Structure 1
Amino acid sequence: MIFFLLFFTILLEDGIAFCCLKTPTVAFTAMLSNDTTLGPRAILKYDHVVTNLGGAYQPTTGIFTAPYDGLYSISCTLMSSPSNHVHLKMMKNGQRISIVFSNSKTYPQASQTLHLILNKGDRIWMQNHNEQNAIVYDWRVYNVFSGILIKDLLVHYSPHNFKRNQIFKKNRFQIKMIIVLLLFTIFLEDGIACCCLKTPVVAFTSMLSKDTTIGPGAVLKYDHVVTNWGGAYQPTTGIFTAPYDGLYSMSCSLMSFQSNYVYLAVMKNGQRVSTVFSNSKTYPQAAQTLHLILNKGDRIWMQNHINQNAKMHDGKAYNVFSGILIEDM
Structure 2
Amino acid sequence: MQTSLFLFVVFFSTNTIVYSLICLRCSDVTEPRLCNKIERCQDGEVCAVQQYRADNGDIGYWTGCYPKKECAAVDNRTVVSTKRSQYIDGVVQCRDCCTSDICNAYGCGSPKYPATRGPICFDCENVSDPRDCHTVTPCNLNQKCFIHEKSVFGKRYFTSKCESIMGCLPHFTGPVVGRRRDLSGLCIHCCDGDLCNADCSTASNATVNNVNKPATSMPDHVAFHAVAYSPTNNAVVIFDHVITNVGGGYDNTTGVFTVPTPGLYVFSWTIETYGQRTEAVLLVNGVQQALSRADQASSYYDTTTSFAVQNLTLNDKVKVKVILGRSEARHTMFSGWKINNTDDTAFSVSLSREVTGSTIVFNNETLDTDSAYSTSTGRFVAPRSGLYVFMMSAVIYGSHEYTCNFYFSNGNNQPEIWMDSDSGLYDSASYMTFGWLNSGDYVYAHASRMTTSSVIAGWQLVDDVNVSKVRYPAFLAHLSGDTTRSPIVFNRVHSGYHHGYSTSTGKFTADRDGVYVFLHNIEAAGSVVNTALAVNGNVKVETRSDGRHTGYDDTSAVTVLELASGDQVYVNIHSGEADDGQTLFFGILLFEL
TM-score (norm 1): 0.70
1:147 aligns with 2:314: no
Given residue 72 of structure 1, which amino acid in structure 2 is its aligned partner? Y
Verify the 8 A CA contact 2:267 2:337 in the aligned structure 1: yes
Match of 2:450 in 1: 312
User: How much does 1:265 deviate?
Assistant: 2.8
- Helix, strand or coil: the match of 1:61? coil
> What's the Cα RMSD here?
2.5
1:178 — aligned with what?
none
User: Deviation of residue 5 (structure 1)?
Assistant: 9.1
Deviations 1:143-183 (A, max 9, x none): 22011111375xxxxxxxxxxxxxxxxxxxxxxxxxxxxxx
By how many angstroms is 1:322 displaced? 0.4
Of residues 238, 247, 256, the one that matches 1:54 is 247
Preserved CA contact (<8 Å) 1:100 1:285:
no
Report what 1:171 is aligned to: none
Q: 1:175-254 counterparts in 2 under 5 A?
A: 200-212=343-355, 214-215=356-357, 218-254=358-394
CA deviation digits over 1:298-323, x for unaligned, max 9? Answer: 1100123xxxxx44221xxx200101
**Number of residue pairs aligned between Structure 1 and Structure 2:** 254
Match of 1:37 in 2: 232
2:317 matched residue in structure 1: 123
TM-score, structure 2 as length reference: 0.40
Question: 1:117 Cα deviation (Å)?
Answer: 0.5
Q: Measure, in 2, the Cα distance between the counterparts of 1:21 and 1:255.
A: 42
Deviations 1:27-84 (A, max 9, x none): 1111012x4132x3x100100011112221111111111122210011111211x243
Distance (Å, rounded) in 2 between the aligned partners of 1:49 and 1:65 = 15
- Where does residue 327 of structure 1 map in the other structure? 462
Contact 1:254/1:286 (CA < 8 Å) preserved in 2?
yes
1:270 offset after TM fit, Å? 7.2
Given the superposition, is the C-alpha separation of residues 115 and 19 from structure 1 closer, same or farther in structure 2, using an over 3 Å criterion?
A: farther
Q: Which has the larger radius of gyration?
A: 2
Q: Are the aligned partners of 1:232 and 1:241 in contact in 2 as well (CA < 8 Å)?
A: yes
Rate the CA distance shift 1:44–1:20 in 2: closer, same or farther, 3 A. same
Q: 1:162-177 maps to which residues of 2 (within 5 A)?
A: none
2:282 corresponds to which residue?
Answer: 90
Report sequence identity in percent.
Answer: 24
For 1:96, give the aligned amino acid. Answer: Q
Q: Paired residue for 2:436? A: 293
Q: Determine whether 1:278 maps to 2:469.
A: no
**Pair 10,291 (structure 1): closer, same or farther in 2 beyond 3 Å:** farther
> 1:107 aligned to 2:301?
yes
- What's the secondary structure of 1:234's corresponding residue? coil
In structure 2, give the amino acid aligned to 1:55: G
Correspondence for 1:166: none
Q: Provide the rounded CA distance (Å) in 1 between the counterparts of 2:191 and 2:368.
A: 25
Q: Is the 8 A contact 1:254 1:277 kept in 2?
A: no
Written as runs of structure 1 = structure 2, the 5 A alignment for 1:17-32 is 19=212, 24-32=220-228
Structure number with the higher helix fraction is 1
- Report if the CA contact (8 A) 1:69-1:152 is conserved: no
Q: Which has the higher contact order (CA 8 A, sep 6+)?
A: 1
Instruction: Say if 1:44 and 1:277 are closer, same or farther in 2 by CA, change over 3 A.
Output: same
Flag structure 1 segments of 5+ consecutive residues without an equivalent: 12-17, 154-199, 305-309
Q: Is the 8 A contact 2:275 2:295 kept in 1?
A: no
- Given the superposition, is the C-alpha separation of residues 293 and 21 from structure 1 closer, same or farther in structure 2, using an over 3 Å criterion? farther
What is the distance in 2 between the residues matched to 1:247 and 1:32? 32
Q: Cα distance, 1:211 vs. partner?
A: 2.2
Contact 1:31 1:48 in 2 (8 A): yes
Q: Describe the shift of the 1:77–1:54 C-alpha distance in structure 2 as closer, same or farther (beyond 3 A).
A: same
Q: What is the rounded CA distance, in whole Å, between the counterparts of 2:176 and 2:417 in structure 1?
A: 47
For 1:6 and 1:266, the matched residues in 2 are separated by: 47
Q: Distance in 2 between matches of 1:94 and 1:268?
A: 36
Distance 1:20 1:328, change over 3 A: farther
In structure 2, list runs of 5 or more residues that go unmatched. Answer: 1-173, 179-189, 193-210, 465-593
Residue aligning to 1:186: none
Report if aligned partners of 1:205, 1:320 keep a CA contact under 8 Å in 2.
Answer: yes
Give the CA deviation at 1:138.
Answer: 2.8
Deviation at 1:7, TM superposition (A): 6.5
Residues 1:247 and 1:152: Cα distance change in structure 2 (over 3 Å): closer
Task: Describe the SS at the equivalent of 2:340.
Answer: strand
CA contact (8 A) 2:352 2:451 kept: no
Task: Measure the CA separation in 2 of the matches of 1:277 and 1:44.
Answer: 28
